[in-house]
Amino acid sequence: MSMLEIRDLSVTFGGLHALKNLHFHVDEGEIVSVIGPNGAGKTTFFNMISGMITPTTGDIVFEGESLLGLDPSQVTERGIARTFQNVRLFANMTILENVMVAQHCRTDQRVFGALFQTKSFKSEEEAIRNYGEEVLSFFGSRLVGYRLDQPASVLSYANRRRLEVARAMATRPRLLLLDEPVAGMNPRESAELTALIGRLRSEWGFTVVMIEHDMSVVRDVSDRVVVLDHGETIAQGSYDQVANDPKVIEAYLGRPVGSAVADDEEAP
């Protein structure tokens, strides 16, 4: 059985169909890319899985249980974490605090523990801190050391993106939703992050669904590509299958033209 299964899902905003009769599934251990032109409904799709938008019809089933009607925090607790397309860190909290707060739903100390500094409170704080540092050190030396206690706002753009991924990882998810993880990065940085996405699966055991415009990243890392246009799945399969699908080419370029997919790689 697949890990995440989306059945016949539709979202309408007023008269606009943001997503129409969508069927989608992710198996455990897969890396799936969702691509599509601007306005295709990709981010809406993420918002819906993470509980920020309630679908009009249809069902989302994660590990055998429906996610409908859950708050975003409950969805995160079930094991789905996400990043945001326009980086939204807690800019005035330190880098370490950013990953510490993300472990909120995995910890349970309340007022009593904090006030009386109980043993379990102290050991939990220690564990939160250690796990936070462990997650941050996944990105090499960039986010650790003296950076730990700096506010997130001093980070460079690429490092903010990395911290976003780290923060999502810190919620201890099973499924990671990455919304354009390499947007705005230079080719070298994006190649590096592509390698990290592969390691997210092999070392951390995460299943990854990612929205991405950068076709070289999509080609290198994904097992399967799903193409959305106007809220509908128009194609899915391996990168090569999708790249040669006439419907996909039409969606991107407007009319069928031989093998024009190569242009896409410069398109994002």
Partner 1 sequence: MTATSDNLSMLEAPGINWRRQIRFALVGGLSSVFIALAGMPVGLDGRNIIQPVLSMGYLALLWVPFVFASLAGSVVILEGMSERERDAKDLAAGALVGLGSSAGLIILMVLIQNFNLRDPLVNWSPQLLDLLSFDRSTGLGMLLWLILGTTLGLLGGAMHVVPAKVRSRILAVALAVLAVSVLETFLTDLLEGFGLETLTDFIYYKRGGLEVSGAIVVAALALLIPLLVGSKIEGIKTRVVEMPSEERRRVNLLLLTVGAALMLVLPFFLGKITNELLANVGLFVLLALGLNIVVGLAGILDLGYVAFFAVGGYTTAVLTSPNSPGFSPELPWPVALIIVVVLTGIVGLFIGAPVIRMRGDYLAIVTLGFGEIIRLLFLSDWLSGWFGGAQGITNIPGVDVGIGTVKGTDPRSVFLLVLVFCAIAIYVSWRLEHSRLGRAWMAIREDEDVAEAMGVNTTNTKLMAFVVGAVLASFSGAIFSAKVGSIFPTSFLMLVSIIILVVVIVGGMGNIVGVIAGALVLIGVLGGPKQPGLLQEFSQFKLLIYGALLVWMMLKRPEGLVPNVRRTRELHQEEFLQDAWLKGEIDTDDDEDSQ
CA 208/CA 145 separation, integer angstroms:
28
Q: Which helix (H) or strand (E) holds 33?
A: strand 31-35
Whose Cβ is closer to partner 1: residue 44's or residue 103's?
103
186 binds partner 1 (CB under 8 A): yes
Neighbours of 195 (CB within 10 A): 11
154 binds partner 1 (CB under 8 A): yes
CA 225/CA 138 separation, integer angstroms:
26
**Least distance from C-beta 202 to partner 1, angstroms?**
23
Cβ-Cβ contacts under 8 Å for 178 (sequence gap 6 or more): 82, 83, 165, 168, 197, 208, 209, 210, 211, 212
161 binds partner 1 (CB under 8 A): no
Pairing of strands 175-179, 57-62: unpaired
52 binds partner 1 (CB under 8 A): yes
**Least distance from C-beta 170 to partner 1, angstroms?**
8
CA 183/CA 85 separation, integer angstroms:
8
81 binds partner 1 (CB under 8 A): yes
**Least distance from C-beta 238 to partner 1, angstroms?**
31
**Least distance from C-beta 1 to partner 1, angstroms?**
25
44 binds partner 1 (CB under 8 A): no
**Least distance from C-beta 11 to partner 1, angstroms?**
18
3-class DSSP state of 82? strand
Whose Cβ is closer to partner 1: residue 89's or residue 178's?
89
106 binds partner 1 (CB under 8 A): yes
Of the candidates 218, 206, 55, the residue with the CA atom closest to the CA atom of residue 67? 55
The residues in 187-216 that bind partner 1, with binding defined as CB under 8 A, are 189
Task: Calculate the CA dihedral of residues 159, 164, 165, 168 and round it to 10 degrees.
Answer: 160
The residue ranges that bind partner 1 (CB under 8 A) are 50, 52, 71-74, 76-77, 81-82, 84, 88-93, 97, 100-107, 109-111, 113-115, 117, 121, 124-125, 128, 140-142, 147, 151, 153-159, 167-168, 171, 186, 189
